Amino acid sequence: MKFLVLLALLFGVLHAQIKVVSTDWTAAEILKFIGYKPSAVGDKNSYKIWVGEPDLGEDVVDLGLRMQPNIERLIKLDPDIVIVPSFFSFNITALAKHLSNTKIIVIDAYKSGNLEENLKEATLEISKLVNKENEAKNLLDGNDKFFNSLSAKVTNLKDDTFAVIQFIDSKRVRIYGTNSIYGITLSKLGLKNALSNEFETNLWGIATIPVTSLFKLPKNTKAVIIKPNPINLKEQIKFNSLFASLDMFKDYVELEPVWGAGAYLSMQKFAKALISLLGDKQ
């Protein structure tokens, strides 16, 4: 009997879930993609606005600011692993000081180089931490099949050109290039991105430009607008001659929030929402 109890305890230890915390949303999304729930994430309330899905669940702890997570909450959680991106790495010394039994792992999905390759590398790296390597590889294969299937549904849109933008205010927008999460998605769907080399983009494939610079894009460009949107676009088109003269706002679609610094779940969400809205306009 004692042997069975010890065996059960040993089995439980061997299969105990590793408690993983992510200060940023990209790693949190990757964890959800491979079927692993993070114990805590930074800035959970803003996640609901900017990311929305995948839903983290009410029991996932909010660590406060992504750039400066709440140390007291982390100490209470006592996680096995904390994942941070290098641009938040100034936190590592403080985290290590208070979490002596915790591994602080720096993983960057967004860095110089090809974003799609970087995302795959980050996904496989995270999957190793939580013993989900096989699941991750299968899901990555499934992602390719997902896009192969979806691209067959938009063959009638291959000649169109799309600009994925997000309004900062009525004068400025973020526009997403080919090496962005949206740019990769358009490419996988076989659709054209209006932005090629017109503007310099950052590590996230984003260029911040004045609305007037949108005139530099091809005339047949259709606008894909990502919420949250701080302006009333219909009012701007009606009363603002600048907006009224941009052809892309005569034929546009507006999508619910999709995280522009996300990973595979964000790509899939964007693709499904875009095709659904474009299908409604056919």
Phi, psi of 133 (to 5 degrees): -65, -45
Query: What pLDDT, on the 0 to 100 scale, is given for residue 5?
Result: 45
* Cα gap 204→224, rounded to integer Å: 17
Tokens of 158: 């291959």
Task: Tell me if the bond preceding 230 is cis, omega within 30° of 0.
Answer: no
HEC per residue, the chain: CHHHHHHHHHHHHHCCCCCEEECCHHHHHHHHHCCCCCCEECCHHHHHHHCCCCCCCCCCEECCCCCCCCHHHHHHHCCCEEEECHHHHHHHHHHHHHCCCCEEEECCCCCCCCHHHHHHHHHHHHHHHCCCHHHHHHHHHHHHHHHHHHHHHHHHHCCCEEEEEEECCCCEEEEECCCCHHHHHHHHHCCEECCCCCCCCCCCCEEEEEHHHHHHCCCCEEEEEECCCCCCHHHHHHHCHHHHCCHHHCCEEEECCCCCCCCHHHHHHHHHHHHHHHHHHC
Question: Residue 221 above 70 pLDDT?
Answer: yes
Structure confidence at residue 9 (pLDDT): 47
Going by pLDDT thresholds of 50, 70 and 90, the confidence category of residue 22 is: very high
Predicted pLDDT of residue 255: 95
Nearest alpha-carbon partner for 229 in 171, 162, 166: 166
Quote the radius of gyration of the chain (alpha carbons, Å): 21
**pLDDT average, residue stretch 94-122:** 92
pLDDT score, position 88: 76
Query: What is 157-281's CATH number?
Result: 3.40.50.1980
Q: Residues of the chain with pLDDT > 90: what percent?
A: 72
CATH of 16-144, one of 3.40.50.1980, 3.40.640.10, 3.20.20.70, 2.60.40.10: 3.40.50.1980
> What is the pLDDT averaged over residues 222-250?
95
231 confidence band (pLDDT: 50, 70, 90): very high
Closest C-alpha to 183, from 173, 193, 175: 193
Does this chain's domain 16-144 share its CATH topology with 157-281?
yes
Percent of the chain's residues with pLDDT above 70: 93
Find tokens 């720096």 and name the residue: 106
As given in the structure block, the two tokens for residue 239 are 């009363």
CB 81 within 8 A of CB 102: yes
Can the peptide bond before residue 54 be classed as cis, meaning omega within 30 degrees of 0? yes
- The per-residue pLDDT for 98 is 84
pLDDT at 51: 84
Q: Could you report the per-residue pLDDT of 144-185, keeping only the tens digit for each?
A: 999 999 998 898 998 999 999 999 999 999 999 999 999 999
Residue 199 has pLDDT above 50, yes or no: yes
pLDDT tens readout for residues 245-280: 999 999 899 999 999 999 999 999 999 999 999 875
pTM: 0.88
**Tell me, what's the pLDDT at 167?**
98
pLDDT band, residue 7 (cuts 50/70/90): very low
Round to whole Å and give the CA distance between 140 and 134.
Answer: 10
6 pLDDT above the threshold of 70: no
pLDDT score recorded for residue 2: 52
55-105: per-residue pLDDT in tens?
A: 888 999 999 888 888 889 999 999 999 999 988 766 777 788 888 889 999
How do the domains of the chain map onto residue ranges? 16-144, 157-281
